[in-house]
Amino acid sequence: MKSLLPKLTIALMLTSVAALAQDKVPLKIDLPKPLFVGTPVPIKVPNLEPEQKSAATDFMVPTGTVNLAAGKKVTASDSDPIIGTLDLITDGDKEGDEGSWVEFAPGKQWVQIDLEKESDIYAICVWHYHSQKRVYFDVVVQISDDPKFEKNVTTVYNNDASNELGLGAGKDRPYIETYFGKLIDVNGVKGRYVRLYSKGNTTNKMNHYIEVEVYGKPAA
């Protein structure tokens, strides 16, 4: 009888794993069309990620996961962008054409999305600018239940290796912008507000956003 216990335990574990796997599905992201204009600017950034060449097809999320950011209110460190309006960041338009993106002044800038209720967040995808290959500096993404981000803050992505933003030195690698966007694994962090930072890019000193999507489900 004792010899059967380990086998039964293993069988139960495999059954539980299979059940959990069945509750997850691949995350489907609607991508914009590729768009490249102008003369490419040489990119010389240390510790750069290899350029993404294809869409992610194996990122799994719980069944029922949706883009919680769609149409939600956006605030920012600069409420009066140089180009565009804040609502463009969650309007569903990810194209790289003029009129689809928002431009902020140089220096440390952030945008913040209010999901309206506490949610379980599994992934965030951000498109800064994809009509030209460039790298945005000091990209940091945080989640909180505090709109001022003074407490209960979870950092889910940080490539600010030298801590220029004062949010802590990050270990994530900088990446080249493409029409695939940057998919960030959040792994079920709870929160209502999502804040994204940047500080210029390899082409100019400005900060840009085309779209931000936050994939998750309202917390039970």
* CATH number (domain holding residue 28): 2.60.120.260
Position 42 scores a pLDDT of 79
Q: Are 137 and 185 in contact (CB under 8 A)?
A: no
- φ and ψ of 114, to 5 deg: -100, 110
C-alpha span between 160 and 169 (Å, rounded): 6
**pLDDT grade, residue 36 (50/70/90)?**
confident
Provide the token pair at 130.
């994809």
Burial (CB count <10 Å: 0-12, 13-18, 19+), residue 72: middle
Q: Are 166 and 155 in contact (CB under 8 A)?
A: no
* In the chain, alpha helices (H): 4-22
* Of 31-35, 74-78, 154-158, 215-219, minimum mean pLDDT range: 31-35
- φ and ψ of 164, to 5 deg: -70, -25
Query: Does the pLDDT at position 15 exceed 50?
Result: no
Over residues 185-211, the mean pLDDT reads 98
- Residue bearing the bigger pLDDT, 57 or 186: 186
How many domains does the chain fold into? 1
Mean pLDDT of the chain: 91
Which residues touch 107 (CB under 8 Å, ≥6 apart)? 199, 200, 205
Please give the residue range of the domain that contains residue 31: 4-218
Closest Cα to residue 165, out of 132, 209, 196, 205? Answer: 196
